[in-house]
Structure 1
Amino acid sequence: MHEPVACTELFLPRLRDRGFTVEVAETLEVYDDRTALARADLILQCWTAGRITAEQEENVVDRVRAGAGFAGWHGGVVATFHEARRYQYMVGGRFLCHPGGLIDHRVDITGDHPVVHGIGSFRVHTEQYYCHTDPTLEVLATTTFSGEHGEPETAGVVMPVVWLRRFGAGRVFVSTLGHAPADLALPEVDTITERGLLWAADMPGAGRDH
């Protein structure tokens, strides 16, 4: 489905309520604008597939390394710009497949980071993302693959679902959940996503502290 406007509108009003000035760009040309990037405390990306130019990639990666937050979910961050190695390195993971399509599976919370504090494991009916991920990530939630749906080699694989990454002076928040607005509206996913955006922006409100 991937409904970028409907999905981002679940969270943009809350960022405004927190005092953010929200600027919406509908093309990747915003990544050509170093002035616009320089004033961004948080870059919330929702862009599946597509191509990013070398200059656009350099600009956004450099801005995050210099201190901007970068955040997003699902295909909007990990199923995009596959040829952009610096971008993939910054995000810390890339989508490969989702065996079975929309399936029932469990998301397990790991640890007690403020972004997931007070949230227990929960069930979802959505795509179970199989990704290649960086070993340095701070993983907040995982899912375990069954090996069904024609991919037996995935049996028992514990895959990151939500993660954080420090990148230079910047912060990166990624959740692989969010195929449709209904997925993001689940109470657990809603809370994790809102806290993750605030954590990436280095703002209070990401759980007990920031």
Structure 2
Amino acid sequence: MTEQQKSALVVRGGWGGHVPVPASDRYAAALKEDGYAVTVSDTLDSYLDRELLAATDLIVQCWTMGQITGDQAVGLADAVRAGTGFAGWHGGIIDSFRSETRYQLMTGGQFVHHPREFTTYLVRPLPEHAEHPVLAGIEPFTVTTEQYYLHMDPAVEVLAVTDYEDDPDNPELAGVVMPVTWTRRWGAGRVFVTAIGHNLADLEVPEVDSMIKKGMAWATR
């Protein structure tokens, strides 16, 4: 690895319904194409390796549900606080480790519900953030997939939103303006999240793919 080359750690696992291996392979390949040295890990014990994390410019996580130990959560949060970037999509980053609130403080949002069926909804980039690197070239677009209802940290910088669609099981939620894509700072580190990405078809939507690639670049140390 040359001195200038960026390094990325891709951590994947958890619930198989979010296709963690093919989904993370997609973006590991994209990072390699952009010149990153990429390490892929199938264990959360990577978050205990402080030497590895200190040498890592970007962590991309695709790990839905599961359990993280307190030491693993602290190791990850400390690395990001020290400047390592953290990025991910959908349940792989905001439905991870449901009982670990220290992790949720860092990501800035937590999945709590989605309608039983896929929903077609409009994603609206916020005009006040039109110049943000993550939104470059992104106009409003529609997706047909799970629409996440989230509990959100008001301290994040929301870049794109959606109007929550009708949900027969929870009609009270209809019309709520819900964040879809956001960033935040965690100490010296940058965190990028998008709620879209249930399956590979979601990731192949050009606007989604663009936001994730640009989000990873933005979060990199």
Instruction: Give me the TM-score of the superposition, normalised by structure 2.
Output: 0.88
Select the structure that is richer in strand: 2
**Is contact 1:47-1:77 (8 Å) kept?**
yes
How much does 1:149 deviate?
Answer: 2.4
**Is contact 1:73-1:177 (8 Å) kept?**
yes
Q: Secondary structure at the match of 2:111?
A: strand
What is the match of residue 52 of structure 1? 68
Instruction: Confirm or deny that 1:165 pairs with 2:184.
Output: yes
Match of 2:51 among 12, 15, 35: 35
Q: Secondary structure at the match of 1:177?
A: coil
Q: Secondary structure at the match of 1:156?
A: coil
**Is contact 2:123-2:141 (8 Å) kept?**
yes
How much does 1:146 deviate?
Answer: 2.9
**Is contact 2:119-2:165 (8 Å) kept?**
no
Q: Which deviations, in whole Å up to 9, do the C-alpha atoms of 1:35-89 show, x marking residues without a partner?
A: 2111111010000000000000000000000100000000001111111111100
Q: Which deviations, in whole Å up to 9, do the C-alpha atoms of 1:165-201 show, x marking residues without a partner?
A: 0111000000110000110111110111100000000
How much does 1:122 deviate?
Answer: 0.7
Q: Work out the CA distance in 1 between the residues paired with 2:214 and 2:177.
A: 23
Match of 2:199 among 158, 177, 180: 180
How much does 1:135 deviate?
Answer: 0.4
Instruction: Confirm or deny that 1:117 pairs with 2:143.
Output: no
What is the match of residue 6 of structure 2? none
Q: Could you tell me which runs of 5 or more consecutive residues in structure 1 were left unpaired when the two chains were aligned.
A: 203-210
The letter for the 1-side match of 2:97 is F
The letter for the 2-side match of 1:45 is Q
What is the match of residue 78 of structure 1? 94
Give the 4+ runs in structure 1 shifted more than 4 A. none
Q: Work out the CA distance in 2 between the residues paired with 1:188 and 1:103.
A: 17
**Is contact 1:106-1:122 (8 Å) kept?**
yes
Calculate percent identity across the aligned residue pairs. 50
**Is contact 1:45-1:70 (8 Å) kept?**
yes
Q: Work out the CA distance in 2 between the residues paired with 1:167 and 1:28.
A: 20
What is the match of residue 22 of structure 2? 6
Q: How many residues align?
A: 202
Q: Could you tell me which runs of 5 or more consecutive residues in structure 2 were left unpaired when the two chains were aligned.
A: 1-16
**Is contact 1:42-1:70 (8 Å) kept?**
yes
The letter for the 1-side match of 2:195 is T
Instruction: Give me the TM-score of the superposition, normalised by structure 1.
Output: 0.93
Q: Work out the CA distance in 1 between the residues paired with 2:33 and 2:122.
A: 32
What is the match of residue 63 of structure 1? 79
Q: Secondary structure at the match of 2:80?
A: helix
**Is contact 1:144-1:158 (8 Å) kept?**
yes
**Is contact 1:73-1:178 (8 Å) kept?**
yes
